[in-house]
Amino acid sequence: MLTLRKASDRGAADHGWLKSFHTFSFANYRNSNEQGFSDLLVINDDRVAAGKGFGQHPHRDMEIFSYVLEGALEHKDTLGTGSVIRPGDVQLMSAGSGVAHSEYNHSTTQPVHFLQIWIVPDVSGAEPRYQQEHFSAEKKRGRLQLIISPEGDNGSLRVRQDARVYAALIDGNESATLELAANRYAYVHVASGSVELNGVPLQEGDGVRVREEQVLTLSNGVNAEVLVFDLRPQELPQMP
């Protein structure tokens, strides 16, 4: 069963320097029907103006990853990490017992467009850690590339949860298929472009809750970039 969440139904915030769309309830956007899905708590689609960003602020007991679509995002944290994240890079910060970080547009002339995604961990109070890896367009072209997994399989980043995240670039005649294990949920988010999921047309910003399906096929894309989350079969996130 596929349950579509249209991009136009998301929450929206415009702070001038920041324009954001919220798939699930976040900050001042509250929707009792959109409190996350399985262990997926937040998908924020953010556009940050040149030279602007989020000052240092704390997190704990959350798996937070950033996925840059355009531009460059500068990250600094209290673990001593400093990095610049560009398209193809995936950054995963496990907040654990507590960490503070800042995120700024690295450019003084161009905006940055990125997704920030929160996954609820399976343990509380763990040691904070930071990971970053580059996944080239070639690795994602016409296939679902594993970028996040519990054990760090195939060069993916390690997440403290029974969740796997795949990224794909689909255009023209390209297609990619993911087979889910029995009794698994999934969530599909179209980061850019358009694509079909099992024949259902999706546009940029659309999301789909997936239940009782074991084969997911992405096809008929038009410059599509897609994230697919393989998740535990529960409706709402639960903190450990």
Q: How far is CA 42 from CA 63, 97, 107, in A?
A: 10, 20, 25
Q: What is the pLDDT of residue 81?
A: 81
205's tokens: 């910003």
Q: What is the pLDDT of residue 59?
A: 84
Q: How do the domains of the chain map onto residue ranges?
A: 2-231
pLDDT less than 50: residues of the chain: none
Is 22 marked within a binding site?
no
Query: pLDDT of 25-70, one tens digit each?
Result: 998 999 999 999 999 999 999 999 998 877 788 889 999 999 999 9
Q: How many CB atoms lie within 10 A of CB 193?
A: 17
Q: Cβ distance 95 to 79 under 8 Å?
A: no
Is 133 marked within a binding site?
no
Q: Residue 16 half-sphere exposure, CB side, CA atoms within 13 Å?
A: 2
Residue range 2-231 forms a domain whose CATH class is mainly beta
Query: pLDDT of 190-210, one tens digit each?
Result: 999 999 999 999 999 999 999
Q: How far is CA 167 from the centre of its chain?
A: 9
Q: What is the pLDDT of residue 129?
A: 92
> pTM for this one?
0.96
